[in-house]
């Protein structure tokens, strides 16, 4: 006898995953979103400029094109430096210990350093590059900046002669920013200078109007855009699901009141409402977070309300009521889980809308405030160079614009893919 082949049955989740991963564009969108999330989490750890807000720049190298290379002299700041932990650096960055100056060349003597600047507008009377001499110790070490007479442990003040360091043969004695006397040698000073105080940088995407690394600010802008989208979606989901559930399940006057509120919010243009709320809360990232969350909940509330009104009349809901289950448990344990698919699709669409709206707010100066990097603000800085004969600054508008387009497109492709995946009418390949 011919064996009868058993029919294999799978869960609905199996077919959802199969439909989704057979959609190439949706998978591509998911890959871009995952990469953006990884970049946003790592943040300062992968940025060329890991200072807070990627703000370590020099106006003398402003508006340089992609691939620009320069040598910096790094002069030690005479201030206490906090050594952050790994997670502090990842989340908040590492403050720079140095002030950077672009130089053309340098020459090290036993105790002094002579550098030739490449600063625009900083030249000698004959227009030759300006040269300047520094104390090598002052460039390398973080020195005490107060009055030496106030130091209790300074027994040989006459040798310092009012300066926070002095040399004695090959030995160098200096007072650090904590007021402690330290000893080193000239050879060690020169060696440390070569290792730590001269840096060659390549700006892969060029520099902005303040001479800051555009790539670093673009990477940190990913965190701002995704962070605002995440908080805005979280607020909108909480409000939308709560109000939509109340309106759909209870109906009556509650449904009428919530519907009236939704109609009012829906009738006002979203960008206008966001601007009003952000101005009321104060300009900045926090105001943008809350403003976007308070204006994107209506779509979710309408979706939840409509679905609950259809589901609450089904027999299993009547059975739950007959068993004496509370309204809270019926809604959150037996109705809302059925809305998971449509909600995921709505959330991905709202995420893309939140990123676009935040970029618009920052472009208008009502979102993230300087020096916090935001893609919209970076586009705003570059708009002044559109049509410029010099061609400078075009990269300021190109790269952040491409980042916004790519991330919004990725979320839209992801949302469309999820919509098709949760649609049982879509054929499984």
Q: Where are the domains of the chain?
A: 72-203, 214-421
Decide: 193 and 136 in contact? Cβ < 8 Å.
Answer: yes
Band of pLDDT at residue 393, cut at 50, 70 and 90: confident
pLDDT of residue 124: 58
pLDDT of residue 280: 82
Q: What is the arithmetic mean of pLDDT over 240-269?
A: 90
Residue with structure tokens 């499984």?
428
**Residue 288 burial by Cβ neighbours in a 10 Å radius (0-12, 13-18, 19+):** buried
In this predicted model, what pLDDT tens digit does every residue of 127-179 receive, in sequence order? Answer: 567 778 878 888 888 787 777 666 666 666 667 777 788 788 888 888 787 77
Q: Which residue has the higher pLDDT, 362 or 160?
A: 362
In this predicted model, what pLDDT tens digit does every residue of 76-101 receive, in sequence order? Answer: 777 767 778 888 888 899 888 888 88
The torsion angles phi and psi of 342, rounded to 5 degrees, stand at -60, -35
Q: What is the arithmetic mean of pLDDT over 270-283?
A: 81
Q: Which helix (H) or strand (E) holds 26?
A: helix 24-42
Q: What is the arithmetic mean of pLDDT over 5-25?
A: 79
- Indicate the average pLDDT of the chain: 84
In this predicted model, what pLDDT tens digit does every residue of 21-69 receive, in sequence order? Answer: 999 999 999 999 999 999 999 999 999 999 999 999 888 898 899 999 9
Give the 3-state secondary structure of residue 161.
coil
pLDDT of residue 332: 85
Q: Which two tokens stand for residue 380?
A: 């705003």
Band of pLDDT at residue 342, cut at 50, 70 and 90: confident
Q: What is the arithmetic mean of pLDDT over 243-247?
A: 92
Tell whether omega for the bond before 296 is within 30 degrees of 0, i.e. cis: no
In this predicted model, what pLDDT tens digit does every residue of 278-291 receive, in sequence order? Answer: 888 777 777 777 88
Nearest Cα to 274, choosing from 259, 296, 243?
Answer: 296
Nearest Cα to 287, choosing from 267, 273, 297, 308?
Answer: 273
pLDDT of residue 383: 84
**Residue 157 burial by Cβ neighbours in a 10 Å radius (0-12, 13-18, 19+):** exposed
pLDDT of residue 226: 92
Q: What is the pTM of this model?
A: 0.84
Q: At what angle do helices 375-382 and 394-421 cross, to 10 degrees?
A: 140
Decide: 360 and 271 in contact? Cβ < 8 Å.
Answer: yes
Per-residue pLDDT for 345 more than 80? yes
pLDDT of residue 411: 94
In angstroms, rounded to a whole number, what is the distance separating the alpha carbons of residues 18 and 20? 5
**Taking the mean position of all CA atoms in its chain, how far away is CA 227?**
7
Judged by phi (left if over 0) then psi (alpha if -120 to 50, else beta), residue 155 lies in alpha
What percentage of the chain exceeds 90 in pLDDT?
27
Q: Name the DSSP class of 332.
A: I
Instruction: List Cα–Cα distances, 271 to 41, 215, 354, 406, in angstroms.
Output: 28, 29, 11, 22
Per-residue pLDDT for 1 more than 50? no
CATH topology of domain 214-421: MetI-like fold (1.10.3720)
pLDDT of residue 289: 78
Band of pLDDT at residue 388, cut at 50, 70 and 90: low
What percentage of the chain exceeds 70 in pLDDT?
89
* HSE of 297, CA atoms in CB hemisphere, 13 A: 25
pLDDT of residue 221: 94
Distance from the first to the final alpha carbon of the chain:
32
Per-residue pLDDT for 346 more than 50? yes
What residues contact 330, with CB distance under 8 A and at least 6 apart? 249, 317, 320, 321
Q: What is the arithmetic mean of pLDDT over 104-111?
A: 80
pLDDT of residue 152: 63
């Amino acid at each position: 006898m011919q064996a009868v082949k058993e029919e294999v049955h799978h869960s609905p989740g199996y077919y959802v995953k199969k439909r989704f991963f057979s959609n190439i564009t949706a998978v591509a969108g998911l890959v871009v979103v995952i990469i953006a999330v990884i970049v946003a989490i790592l943040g300062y750890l992968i940025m060329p400029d890991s200072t807070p807000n990627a703000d370590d720049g020099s106006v003398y190298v402003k508006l340089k094109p992609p691939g620009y290379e320069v040598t910096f002299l790094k002069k030690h700041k005479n201030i206490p430096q906090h050594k952050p932990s790994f997670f502090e650096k990842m989340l908040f960055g590492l403050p720079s210990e140095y002030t950077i100056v672009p130089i053309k060349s340098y020459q090290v003597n036993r105790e002094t350093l002579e550098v030739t600047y490449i600063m625009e507008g900083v030249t000698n009377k004959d227009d030759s590059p300006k040269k300047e001499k520094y104390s090598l110790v002052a460039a390398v070490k973080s020195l005490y900046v107060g009055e030496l007479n106030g130091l209790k442990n300074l027994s040989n003040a006459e040798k310092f002669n009012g300066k926070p360091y002095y040399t004695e043969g090959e030995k160098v004695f200096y007072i650090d920013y904590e007021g402690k006397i330290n000893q080193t040698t000239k050879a060690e000073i020169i060696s440390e200078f070569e290792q730590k105080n001269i840096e060659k940088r390549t700006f892969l995407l060029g520099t902005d109007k303040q001479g800051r690394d555009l790539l670093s600010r673009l990477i940190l802008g990913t965190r701002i855009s995704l962070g605002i989208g995440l908080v805005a979606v979280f607020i909108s989901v909480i409000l939308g699901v709560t109000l939509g559930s109340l309106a759909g399940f209870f109906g009556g006057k509650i449904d009428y009141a919530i519907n009236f509120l939704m109609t009012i919010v829906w009738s006002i243009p979203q960008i206008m409402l966001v601007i009003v709320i952000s101005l009321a809360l104060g300009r900045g990232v926090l105001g943008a977070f809350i403003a976007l969350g308070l204006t994107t909940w209506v779509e979710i509330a309408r979706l939840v309300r409509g679905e609950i009104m259809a589901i609450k009349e089904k027999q299993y809901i009547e059975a739950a009521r007959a068993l004496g289950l509370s309204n809270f448990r019926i809604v959150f344990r037996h109705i809302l889980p059925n809305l998971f698919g449509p909600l995921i699709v709505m959330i991905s669409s709202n995420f893309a809308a939140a990123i676009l709206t935040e970029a618009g707010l920052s472009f208008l100066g009502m979102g993230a405030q300087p020096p916090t990097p935001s893609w919209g603000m970076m586009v705003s800085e570059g708009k002044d160079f559109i049509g410029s004969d010099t061609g400078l600054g075009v990269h300021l508008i190109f790269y952040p614009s491409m980042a916004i387009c790519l991330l919004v497109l990725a979320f839209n492709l992801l949302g469309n893919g999820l919509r098709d995946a949760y649609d049982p009418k879509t054929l499984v390949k």
